[in-house]
Structure 1
Amino acid sequence: MSFGPVEQWSHRAGVSLRPWSGRAPGGLVLRGLIKLAVGAAIVWIGWRLRSGDRLSDADAATVGLEPTAPTGWGTALIVVAMVPVLLGAAQVVIGVLDLVLRRRVTGRVVSIRERRMGDVLPGIVQEAIFERRDSGLDRRRSRYELVCHTPDGPQRWTIRSARTRRDLAVDAHVELRVSPIVGYVASARTINPPA
């Protein structure tokens, strides 16, 4: 397989360079809208504080302030709230683009394997870094990386659906419906190999 140098590094390290790798675009849009709503509410409260309005007890309790908080808190709230607003907006845009730009890809499955952050490290090092001392549990999120050899060369996607994962096998010829930005595999089916 001939990935580019950055792709080779990320493949070896088990890290995906895609934003929100393998997340369903619809779920990404929903989470983005929730972040936007929460951020907008905090910005509104911050704006009221900046203008010197007295907050109602319910508004003040929402952000953990006194109803007569100093106006400097309003600016701080607006600045802090911009993080979820911008992040939510990015999630909505990427989710909508991925819903619209889904495409079909055919190829041969080269590998399907579970990946976790730091899985290239020796086992004893992973245990020392990632396992909790009290319970012995490894709390890293796992994802399944699908590598297919396609007419455009080797490509990688993240599979989160257990059913889709079970339907795929190494060396099978498949047709995938994928999202180009987050690398979400919406559906997969085995096809006859090309002649």
Structure 2
Amino acid sequence: MQTIATIFWRRLDAPGHDACRLERHGESWQLDGAAVFRHTDGRPARLDYRVFCDKAWHAKWGRVRGWVGESPVDISVARNPRGDWTLNDEVVPDLGHCVDLDLGFTPATNLVQLRRIHLDKGDSAEVAAAWIDLDGESLSALVQHYRRRGDGAYDYHAPRFDYKDTLKVGAEGFVTHYPGLWETVA
């Protein structure tokens, strides 16, 4: 294992922080992080997460453990060889088109998507991700649009959440400014 980069974010829409590191495991990649924040319903949350990708940045599995308020969280997500996504070992239908895994409570997983699609300036891509919803402990499709504006700037749109803005991205691929939601702490 080799640590490639680390980052520390501050949440902007509620109290919270997130620390993450990008690791190389042979030819594979792994995000390993921990987030502590106030959940949308006001409850405190502490979540450890890990996302494992192959050498081409295709998400293979993810794990989220911790708690939200008094409720424990222990979520395991994987993509099997047939391309089906599983949530806690149960196949979730209609997600075979999703290549990426998105953990909605952290900006960390945007790195995986951006590295996989590797856009040149002016290029754009639509990305379908298997998205973990903490409230229902469910997995569903999340369509996202990226357009690279230039070095370190991507127009981003997530229609499901009516979110549209320009993300700032550092040299290693981590989002450094997610307007209204997250920013790095020096």
What TM-score, normalized to structure 1?
Answer: 0.25
What TM-score, normalized to structure 2?
Answer: 0.26
Greater relative contact order: 1 or 2 (C-alpha under 8 angstroms, separation 6 or more)?
1
Larger Rg: 1 or 2?
1
